[in-house]
Every structure is written in C-alpha cells, then in structure tokens.
Amino acid sequence: MEYIKIRFLDDFGQLGSKFEKTVEDIFRSVSPSFTLAERTWKPPMDMNETPDEVIILAEIPGVDKEDLDVEISSKAVRIRGNRFARHCSDNATYRLAEIQYGKFERILFLPAPIDPEVVSAAYQNGLLEIRLAKLPAERTHKVPIQDG
C-alpha cells in the first residue's frame, strides 16, 4: 500500500497554537478541567481507495452515535461530533489525564469524484466506517465528421 503525506498548513502558522497547547497541557496536569479555550481534539483517520470506492475509517471511541454528524459533497467529507468527559468522583484525584474530550471536526478532501447519493456509514466498537462510491470515469466518444 502506498501512503501519501498531505500537508495543509505551514508550521509557522501553527506556532501560536502549539505554544497555547503547551501552556494548557502544563496547567491541565495540575487540574484536568483547565482550558484556555473550548477544548477540541482531532481523531485519527484512515482513507484508502479501491477502483470502485473511497473508504474512510475514523477512530472515535467513546463518542455516541447520536453525537456524530457526517456531511458529504462530491469532493469532500466533513465528520464532526463531541466526546463528553466522564468525570471521576468528587473525592478522587487525577494522576493522569490523557484522554481528549470535547468537540471535533475533520474535513477530508477526496482523491476522486464520488456519488454523494451512494454512501454507507457504519459505527461499531468506536470505529466509524464510511464507504463512498466513485463516479465512473468520463468516457469520450468519437464523433464522425461528415463531408460538408
């Protein structure tokens, strides 16, 4: 299988948000409820392509199906949702807080035009699988030229 690395933004544009995340992570280790802004996260996803379809697999354990939203156009897929925090009891102390909670949104641009009417989605064991049927390749027709 061949992997293609896709980069949408340059690293310089992310410098400020990386600094904010570092500060937030330091204070979050003391108090897991500390945030500088609304907490968001980015679930890992895979996309692969067969001759007939594009398949997207999103790893989103702990997200209820009712808290997921999938929108599809012929060129892109938007997957968004929310994973709500499951807080421990009031008399417990956090010793480690690595699980990310909050809203997420991913927009994946598709490698080929798809038919937005022929799509299936299944959610099981924390994995969302979306199958998108590709549009048939355009066919060219030879036009006979007649004498004038």
Q: What is the block-wise mean pLDDT of the chain (148 residues), using blocks of 10 residues? A: 50 55 62 59 95 96 94 92 85 83 95 92 96 86 85
CATH class of residue range 41-134: mainly beta
pLDDT of residue 113: 92
β-bridge partners, 70: 79
Of 46, 62, 58, 44, residue with least CA distance to 101: 62
β-bridge partners, 69: 80
Q: What is the pTM of this model?
A: 0.68
pLDDT of residue 134: 94
pLDDT of residue 98: 85
The 3-state secondary structure of the chain reads: CCCCCCCCCCHHHHHHHHHHHHHHHHHHHHCCCCCCCCCECCCCEEEEECCCEEEEEEECCCCCHHHEEEEECCCEEEEEEEECCCCCCCCCCCCCCCCCCEEEEEEEECCCCEEEEEEEEEEECCEEEEEEEECCCCCCCCCCCCCC
Give residue limits of the domains in the chain.
11-37, 41-134
Of 106, 107, 104, residue with least CA distance to 38: 104
For the beta carbon of residue 112, count every other beta carbon within 10 angstroms.
14
78 touches 70 (CB < 8 A):
yes
Structure tokens at 30: 């003391």
